[in-house]
A and B are shown apart, each in its own frame.
Chain A
Amino acid sequence: MGVIFESIRFATVFLFGSAGETVTEKSGHLNLGTPGVMCIGAMGSAIGASIYLSMCGGVGGTNAFLSFLFPFLFCILFAGLAGLLFSFITVTLHCNQNVTGLALTTFGVGLYPFVTSFLEANPVMKAGFSSISHKYLTHVFPEQFYNMNDFTRLFFSYGVLVYLAIAIAIAIAIIMKKTKVGLFLRTVGENPSAADAAGISVNRYRYLATMIGSAISGLGGMFYLFDWCSGAFEFVVDAYGWLAVSLVIFTMWKTEIGIAGSLLFSFLYIFPGYLNFSGPDKKLFELVPYAATILILVITSIFKLGKAPAGLGQSYFREDR
């Protein structure tokens, strides 16, 4: 029972990360900066939390709703800014996406511990982060409700971000399939020249998709910091960022499959711990998600199921046609 509960909870990191990256990739942007973006999102939420804590003077006066809202908004803001930086360099300045993404990852993965190192000296912040995380962020429903039986524990005992992640993944799937915006976005990712000829502003779509996608990915960082680690900022989320990138491929660019896929990835991560796997076996077990991703990649290419947006990774410049 515990392993399922933990898997569902931890899946949120992958779900946020991959849902955001899916939106980005649908626009034709291969943002390899996702691990960095998730770190920057975590950093943003840490900044938001510390601003809120210093506003209400410590742990005493915190309000449950505001202590969710501040980290959330700052997380979206900073992760969105990272997306803006990525799109500015790749769209406006026409630079290579892979290189920009890797540079953004180097930058973000360093920035998070650099910024949080200033919080370390402050005991108020450490206590405050833990207190903030124990409000809406780890359990949104009251304890007497979710502790009634196994069913309620399985479905209602999570923090607010877990439900938000599932809602966002479903919303993205619907927007992609059923709305005009989704159709236009897919067109931009598949064939930017055709989209441009049809009067769709390629640049605007790419900017917005990357910023929104990054903001969603960044929430994965916030979840990791405030829910999974209960506000302990010594742990860095970057390794899961790469798994989120691979999950996008694994789910063939569909966020509704992403819900199941993230559960699988998180199960594979949590499971060895429950089997008392240790040392080398655990490390080998952790390879399975990557190997499975390669398998999917190979199978889709052999049988020409090509679901990757055709314009993925290519920058678009009207004059180059």
Chain B
Amino acid sequence: MRNQEKAKTPFLRFSLHVSRRNDVPWWIALVVKASFIVGALLLCGIISGIFAEGRSDGFIMFYKYLIEGTFYSPNTAIATIWNASILLIIAVAITPAFKMKFWNIGAEGQVLMGCLGAAIIMKFVAPNVPNIIALFLMLFMALLFSIIWAAIPALFKAYFNTNETLFTLMMNYIAIGIVAAFSLKYKATGDTALGILNAQTHAGWMPELFGYKYLIGIFVIINLVVALWFYLKYSKHGYEIAVLNGSVRTAEYVGINVKLVTIRTMILCGAACGAAAFLLTSGASHTVSETVVGGRGFTAVMISWLGHFNPLQMVLYSLLNAIITTGSSNAAANLGYSGEVASVLSGLFFLLILVSEFFIDFKIKFKLKFRHKEDNNQPPAEAKPELEGGK
């Protein structure tokens, strides 16, 4: 008996105790996050160093091309900030839903439907009316389409408790299909897709500011983000969402109409997605196709969750993601490996940030124990019964 137990005890014992903690000082959280972000950026460089074709400076050059592709000239810098701000507005748009634990992973579809709404006006109405009216109509249609797309899953969730994660996920692909069909239906004969709309007249195009294309969009997005943040933080609606986040029962007991809040919040999400769609269509793409949102809806889900409802963190992640994807595409083109690396690195980046959450939310205790030498020649069990069952 004794021998058997001894045989089971390994020489080196290692135990790990994990417990949740809520009292992390902000500077520890900051250091953990920062070191993971630096680690992720280093990893990108290492991957580049391994795969750079026929050169040994792939590691260093990656960072050079990363910066060159993103902040080299005012134009690239504004384009990078624009990419980041579109991500940011979508991420902030779905945050109210996440805050009430409504898993809206349908931002891709909601934005895409808004783009479709705006593009319909752009195609059929904008050439015949003054630009300011065209822009207003586009905004209206984008909001309408996005709100409808967001409200459908919310209605079913509120009344039948239909699983919203799967519902919104499927709605993405229906939106993609509808947009693809639209783009093929109204393309010019001979083209493969709906090209740039009103390329000559610029009807329905967002005007340029100081000669830069995206500036107005960026400015509007910053204001929207601040407004949404105030809504969440200081309005009665925001408070109701926060109560729902804590517990649905509590919300019911204090007299919050859960159904109403669910639907209202998703309409708000849809409206914000619609605003993003309007800016995207009128300010950047000037067309609609199934790739016009390009997975930003999914990336925004990750950003929103990782940002913990904190707009500053979301700004940081969207900016970093925009830098990594744009910059690594540029590095890939110059260092001779596939541009798909952008998606790989972006995925790795988010996985690492996710892992960093663990080290902030949980306390980890390592225990390393050596088996003592005297264990080997201990007296028989009868002599020392108090040791039984101990180790």
Contact = CB atoms under 8 A, between A and B. Distances in A.
Contact of A297 (B162, B184, B343): B162
Given A95-B354, A95-B355, A106-B346, A297 B165 contact: no
Contacts of B103: 98, 313
B180 to A, nearest CB: 4
Given A117-B338, A287-B177, A294-B167, A106 B299 contact: yes
A316 to B, nearest CB: 13
A114 B160 CA distance: 43
A240 to B, nearest CB: 11
Interface stretch (B81-89, B122-130, B356-364): B356-364
Given A284-B177, A297-B163, A301-B163, A93 B340 contact: no
B341 A249 contact: no
Interface string B58-81: 000000000000000000000000
B167 A103 contact: no
Contact of A280 (B182, B337, B343, B351): B182
A295 to B, nearest CB: 10
Given A99-B354, A301-B160, A302-B160, A107 B347 contact: yes
Interface size class of B (residues with CB under 8 A): 35 or more
B122 to A, nearest CB: 19
Given A106-B298, A283-B177, A297-B163, A100 B351 contact: yes
Interface in B137-190: 156, 160-163, 165-167, 169-171, 173-174, 177-178, 180-182, 184-185
Contacts, number: 153
Given A107-B348, A290-B177, A94 B362 contact: yes
A286 interface: yes
The binding surface of chain B is classed by DSSP as helix
Interface in A66-125: 85, 89, 93-96, 98-100, 102-114, 117-118
B338 A113 contact: yes
Nearest to A106: B347
Given A114-B338, A283-B184, A106 B173 contact: no
B337 A114 contact: yes
Interface in B321-356: 337-338, 340-348, 350-351, 354-355
A117 B350 contact: no
A246 B301 CA distance: 19
B354 A106 contact: no
Contacts of A302: 160, 162
B354 A100 contact: yes
16 contacts: A102-B350, A103-B302, A103-B354, A106-B298, A109-B343, A111-B347, A245-B169, A280-B180, A281-B181, A283-B180, A283-B184, A284-B177, A284-B178, A291-B170, A298-B160, A313-B103
